[in-house]
Amino acid sequence: MDLPFLVTQSLSGLASASSLFIISCGLTIVFGVTRIVNFAHGSFYMLGAYLAVSIVPRLLDLHYSLPMFLAGIVAAAVVVGLVGVVMEVVLLRRIYRAPELFQLLATFGVVLVIEDLVVTFWGPLDLMGARAPGMRGAVDILGNRFPVYQLFLIGTGVLVLALLWLLMHRTRYGVLVRAATQDREMVGALGVNQAILFTGTLFLGSFLAGLGGALQSPLIAANSHMDIAIIAEAFVVTVIGGMGSVPGAFLAALLIGQLQAFGILIVPKATLVLVFALMAVVLIVKPWGLLGRPEAPATRAAPEGIANLKPFGRVERIAAVLALGVALLLPVFGDAYLVKLGTEILIFALAAFSLNLLLGNGGIVSFGHAAYFGIGAYAAGLLAIRLGMAMLPALMLAPIVAGLFAALFGVFIVRLSGIYLAMLTLAFAQIAYAVAFQWVGLTGGDNGILGIWPPDWASGRTAYYYLVLVFAVAAIAALRHAIYAPFGATLRAARDSAVRADAIGIDVKLYRLAAFALAGAAAGLAGALYAFANGSIDPTLLAIPLSIDMLAMTLAGGIQTVIGPLVGAAAFHTAKDFFMPLTDYWRLLLGLAIIAMVLAAPQGLAGGWARLRSRFSGAPA
């Protein structure tokens, strides 16, 4: 490798770093002020690219010049910023009092809606944006050609950093943003109008996402998959840099850009896992990211999650018995497909319930719960196919394997808290995904492994349904017992105040680790049951979309109640199954349903029920 090559390659790295920074700094600012994990940020990036594809050529037709091009880019970004404002005013503002995670669910609904709207407006074909006038060509750098536009991108990244610094340090708005990032409640207590602050921040964040997308439009064709492709990476940048830190995001983007530019020379197939491996290493060494600060312990905020645990009242007991009865009789009154659907609902109910052991009961937010679901599925599949093990022993061993992996990852995960913990769970899930994807010899790669069917006695839809019913109900009952037992109470104590729990002699990390392993094992059982239900395994079972689905199920049901996730799993999966055959735009409908539910029942479905009940009985919620 000669010097000229090293120079151009690192310039390539700088150019992608610069784009990544512009996108990520918007995300980090929004999170810093509002504490919203904005999944829709990737969608705003995509919108920016599509708008630029539409706007820029029209302006260039008027007058073919660089200023017109730049005006088009900025116009696209401003429109996206306004879309962000609409989202804040119409949706987010109504649910600031709901649990923080619930806002994540709302933004996830927005992701689904925007994805389908984009295809409706712009059509399914990829759309290439116009090249910038005067920047079509390349310049000679030490004998190698390098695109002028990429140099322009590098400059733009630095410019955005400088302008943001000025905004943050030389304006009143910037002071408020920084203050809110450090201590949101205090800013509110001092009489700052939070509504305007939040709206402004959403505008700024969405503007930056749109700007990032618009600037990419001459390089990559606008397509309806860009949102998912960018969002995970943008999260990684903000977390490595430290959530809320703009200079941190810049540093992290630089690191990732260079790592990718040179990493692919050494290990070309490492492209899937590189950034996530970096994030895992950074979080293990520096738990708050490179330039982040430890989150202030949330002492003033009311704890989120399962609050006052009451045993089932008469109404709930009747409902539970009825639900179990319906489940038992489902194959009698339902047709074969309903049985299949029921099987999957039971499996996802178990997975969501295990997630809520962490989420609602432990205050441990996992963005990567599908990892344990997938590891369980792979364990069962590999044991059955590679070792020829029978189904039942494979179903017994799979949760143990998943639990062991959860414990292994958990050792690193429970050292963190809050959003950093969540992102480390995501990193480990992505690493597990990459292993399943690329260890072709063992896992069959992305084609997966086929032929994982139950033995003859359990192969009928009804027989397998009852098998799943037995396993799922037993596991859910065991987990529910753990929540009601002192173990669960200890977890809740650690959730509400880790400091006080520690002071009375509770080994907080050990308890959290145990919860993590237990939840992982239960998710693993669900995954194993899923593998035998569908006959095949592949990496989608460990992938981010499934983790998000599980979060959506849990949150939709409500994390304050014990049985919420079961209701959520049933509602979410039924809704998906209902919308999918109706139209190509089922994502749009599902997204709208999620948004409607978030607005109507900001405590989740079961949470809404609990509130109704306390209103009628006059007891405090």
Partner 1 sequence: MNTRIDRRTALGTALGGLAAGIAGLAGRPALADGAPIKIGELNSYSRLAAFCGPYRNAMQLAQDEINAAGGIKTIGGRPLEFVFRDDGASPGDAVRAAEELLTREKVVMLAGTFLSNVGLAVADFANQRKTLFLATEPLSDAITMAQGNPYTFRVRPSTYMQTKMIVEAVKGRGIKRWALVAPNYEYGQSAVANFKKLMKEAVPGFEVVSEQFPAFGKIDAGATVGALEQSKPDAIFNVLFAADLTAFVREGNTRGLFENRLVASLLSGEPEYMLPLGDETPEGWITTGYPWDQITNPKHQAFVKAYQAKFNDTPRLGSLLGYVVVHMIAAMLEKSGSTETDKMIAALSGLTVETVAGPVTMRALDHQSTLGAWVGETTRKGRTGSMKNWKYEDGANYMFPEAEVKAARKG
Residues 449-468 that bind partner 1 (CB under 8 A): 450-451, 453, 459-463, 465-466
Backbone angles phi, psi at 571, to 5 degrees: -65, -45
Contacts 24+ apart (CB under 8 A), 494-503: 494/362, 494/363, 495/303, 495/305, 495/361, 495/362, 495/363, 495/364, 496/303, 496/363, 497/297, 497/299, 498/297, 498/417, 499/297
Task: Kindly tell me which residue out of 128, 284, 296, 506 binds partner 1, with binding defined by CB under 8 A.
Answer: 128
Place of tokens 């322009």: 152
Residues 487-526 that bind partner 1 (CB under 8 A): none
The CA distance from 203 to 33, in Å, is 12
Task: Kindly tell me which residue out of 586, 604, 607, 610 binds partner 1, with binding defined by CB under 8 A.
Answer: 586
Residue 478 CB neighbours (<10 A):
11
Cβ proximity to partner 1, 287 vs 445, nearer residue: 445
The answer to whether 356 touches 369, Cβ cutoff 8 Å, is no
Residue 443 within binding range of partner 1, rule CB under 8 A: no
**Nearest distance from residue 545's CB to partner 1, in Å?**
8
- The candidate with the shortest Cα–Cα distance to 418, out of 244, 218, 588, 544, is 244
Angle between helices 246-266 and 226-241 (to 10 degrees): 110
Vertex 9 angle, CA 6 and 14, to 5°: 120
Residues 522-561 that bind partner 1 (CB under 8 A): 530, 534-536, 538-541, 545
Site string for partner 1, 219-258 (x = CB under 8 A): xxx-xxxx--x---x-------------------------
Cβ proximity to partner 1, 100 vs 549, nearer residue: 549
* Cβ-based burial of 17 (10 A; exposed 0-12, middle 13-18, buried ≥19): buried
Stretch in the footprint of partner 1 (CB under 8 A) among 1-9, 167-175, 310-318, 560-568: 1-9
Contacts 24+ apart (CB under 8 A), 506-513: 509/414, 509/415, 511/487, 512/362, 512/364, 512/410, 512/414, 513/407, 513/410, 513/411, 513/414
Q: Which residues contact 463 (CB under 8 A, 6 or more apart)?
A: 454, 457
Residues 170-229 that bind partner 1 (CB under 8 A): 218-221, 223-226, 229
Residue 481 CB neighbours (<10 A):
11
Residue 64 within binding range of partner 1, rule CB under 8 A: no
Residue 1 within binding range of partner 1, rule CB under 8 A: yes
Residue 9 within binding range of partner 1, rule CB under 8 A: yes
Number of residues near partner 1 (by CB under 8 A): 90
**Nearest distance from residue 263's CB to partner 1, in Å?**
9
Backbone angles phi, psi at 535, to 5 degrees: 80, -5
- The candidate with the shortest Cα–Cα distance to 32, out of 279, 296, 228, 226, is 296
Residue 261 within binding range of partner 1, rule CB under 8 A: yes
Task: Kindly tell me which residue out of 243, 283, 291, 339 binds partner 1, with binding defined by CB under 8 A.
Answer: 339
Stretch in the footprint of partner 1 (CB under 8 A) among 99-107, 122-130, 281-289, 357-365: 122-130
Residue 340 within binding range of partner 1, rule CB under 8 A: yes
Residue 581 within binding range of partner 1, rule CB under 8 A: yes
Residue 335 within binding range of partner 1, rule CB under 8 A: yes
**Nearest distance from residue 439's CB to partner 1, in Å?**
13
Task: Kindly tell me which residue out of 62, 332, 503, 504 binds partner 1, with binding defined by CB under 8 A.
Answer: 332
**Nearest distance from residue 525's CB to partner 1, in Å?**
17
Residue 61 within binding range of partner 1, rule CB under 8 A: no
Residue 271 within binding range of partner 1, rule CB under 8 A: yes
> What type of residue is 235?
F
Task: Kindly tell me which residue out of 74, 85, 127, 506 binds partner 1, with binding defined by CB under 8 A.
Answer: 127
